[in-house]
Amino acid sequence: MGQEIDSSYFTQDDFQRFVARLREETAVLEAWFNGQHFACDPSIGGLELEAWLVDDQGCPAPVNQPYLERLNNPLVVPELSVFNVEFNTPEQPLQGDVLSRMHAALEGLWTQCDHTAAELNARLAMIGILPTVREQDLTLASISRVVRYRALNEQVLRMRKGKPLQLDIRGSEVLRTEHYDVMLEAATTSFQIHLQVQPSEAVAFFNTAVMLSAPMVAATANSPYLFGKDLWAETRIPLFEQAVAVGGDLQGDDPAYRRVTFGSSYLRQSMLEIFLENLTHYPPLLPVCNEQPPERLSHLRLHNGTIWRWNRPLVGFDRAGIPHLRIEHRVMPAGPSIVDTIANMAFFYGAIHALARAPTPLMQDLSFAGSRANFYAAAQDGLQAEISWGGQRVSVRWVLLEELLPLARQGLESLDIHRADIDNYLGIITARIASGRTGADWQRAFVAYHGRDMLALTAAYLDRQRCGLPVHEWGFA
Rounded average pLDDT over 86-111: 96
β-partners of residue 319 are none
Given this model, what pLDDT does residue 221 score? 98
Q: Cα–Cα distance between 138 and 79 in angstroms, integer?
A: 13
Give the pLDDT band (50/70/90) at residue 1. very low
Residue 160 has pLDDT above 90, yes or no: no
Residue 77 has pLDDT above 50, yes or no: yes
Residue 230 has pLDDT above 70, yes or no: yes
Residue 89 has pLDDT above 70, yes or no: yes
Residue 363 has pLDDT above 90, yes or no: no
- Residue 4 domain flag: no
Helix, strand, coil percentages (3-state) for the chain, rounded to 5, are 50, 20, 30
Give the pLDDT band (50/70/90) at residue 252. very low
Angle between helices 64-71 and 98-118 (to 10 degrees): 120
Q: Residues of the chain with pLDDT > 90: what percent? A: 87
Give the pLDDT band (50/70/90) at residue 365. confident
How many beta carbons lie within 10 A of that of residue 387, not counting itself? 23
Is the separation of the CB atoms in 33 and 270 below 8 Å? yes
**Burial of 137 (C-beta count, 10 Å sphere; 0-12/13-18/19+):** buried
Residue 8 has pLDDT above 70, yes or no: no
Give the pLDDT band (50/70/90) at residue 9. confident
- Residue 453 domain flag: yes
- Residue 256 domain flag: yes
Angle between helices 338-356 and 98-118 (to 10 degrees): 150
How far apart are the two ends of the chain, measured CA to CA in Å?
42
- Residue 247 domain flag: yes
Is the separation of the CB atoms in 217 and 375 below 8 Å? yes
Structural domain for 330, as ranges: 12-473
Write the CATH number for 33: 3.30.590.20
Q: Cα–Cα distance between 249 and 299 in angstroms, integer?
A: 19
> Is the bond leading into 336 cis (omega within 30 degrees of zero)?
yes
Q: Residues of the chain with pLDDT > 70: what percent? A: 96
Mean pLDDT of the chain: 94
Residue 251 has pLDDT above 50, yes or no: no
| CA separation, residue 421 to residues 191, 200, 204, 215, 339 (Å) | 20, 28, 26, 21, 11
pTM here?
A: 0.95
Rounded average pLDDT over 417-445: 98
Closest by CA position to 82, among listed 63, 59, 68, 58:
63
Give the pLDDT band (50/70/90) at residue 247. low
- Residue 7 domain flag: no
- Residue 131 domain flag: yes
Q: Cα–Cα distance between 278 and 286 in angstroms, integer?
A: 14
Residue 276 has pLDDT above 80, yes or no: yes
Number of domains in the chain: 1
Give the model confidence (pLDDT) of 181-223 as tens digits: 999 999 999 999 999 999 999 999 999 999 999 999 999 999 9
- The continuous run of DSSP H or E covering 409 comes out as helix 405-414
- Residue 6 domain flag: no
Of the listed ranges 36-45, 117-126, 460-469, the least confidently predicted one is 36-45
- Residue 382 domain flag: yes
Of the listed ranges 61-75, 125-139, 159-173, the least confidently predicted one is 159-173
Rounded average pLDDT over 318-332: 95
Q: Cα–Cα distance between 97 and 410 in angstroms, integer?
A: 16
Give the model confidence (pLDDT) of 447-458 as tens digits: 999 999 999 999
Q: Cα–Cα distance between 51 and 125 in angstroms, integer?
A: 6
Q: Provide the 8-state DSSP code for 402.
A: I
